[in-house]
Amino acid sequence: MPHQGEILQEAIKNSGISITRIVEELGITRPTIYRKFKDETLDYAFVKRIGDIISHDFSNDFTLPQQASLPFVTSGYNVTPVTPVTNRHSVTPSSVSLTDQDYAKQLMVLQNKYIALLEAYNELLLKVYGPR
């Protein structure tokens, strides 16, 4: 099953609108959008902005689990945070590895959000101060 970046890339390709036009309207670089195509989860605002540019509604393209994983999406899906294991000695090894996998997934989501925030900050700096 394709991830969100691949779905986004395919929708852009099918729209017939050039990558050059999209990156100009977004105020980002080509390498940035190509990095987004490799991301498994994307920021909701970014997907919405591209949808507006190419006149495409992505709500039907992402499956329900993919929609729920979009950062900052407010929907009817309640995401329960993983509670940390306080006493690992009384926990079975299989449940520890499952919890560690959950932590790894949460860490990846946070890492993607952090990178998106840094890229947005860099774009803002370029708009305000221009290239050096």
Which residues are within 8 A (CB) of 40 and not within 5 positions of it... i.e. 6 or more apart?
3, 4, 5, 108, 112
Interatomic CA distance for residues 94 and 92, integer angstroms: 6
The count of domains in the chain is 1
Q: Please give the model's pTM, rounded to 2 decimal places.
A: 0.48
Instruction: Tell me the per-residue pLDDT of 104-123, one tens digit each, with 9 for 90 and over.
Output: 777 888 888 888 888 888 88
CA angle 98, 102, 108 (to 5 degrees): 140
| Residue 118 near residue 126 (C-beta atoms within 8 A) | no
**Taking 80 as the threshold, does the pLDDT of residue 23 lie above it?**
yes
In whole numbers, what is the pLDDT of the chain averaged over residues?
A: 75
The boundaries of the domain holding residue 70 are 4-129
Q: What is the pLDDT of residue 89?
A: 46
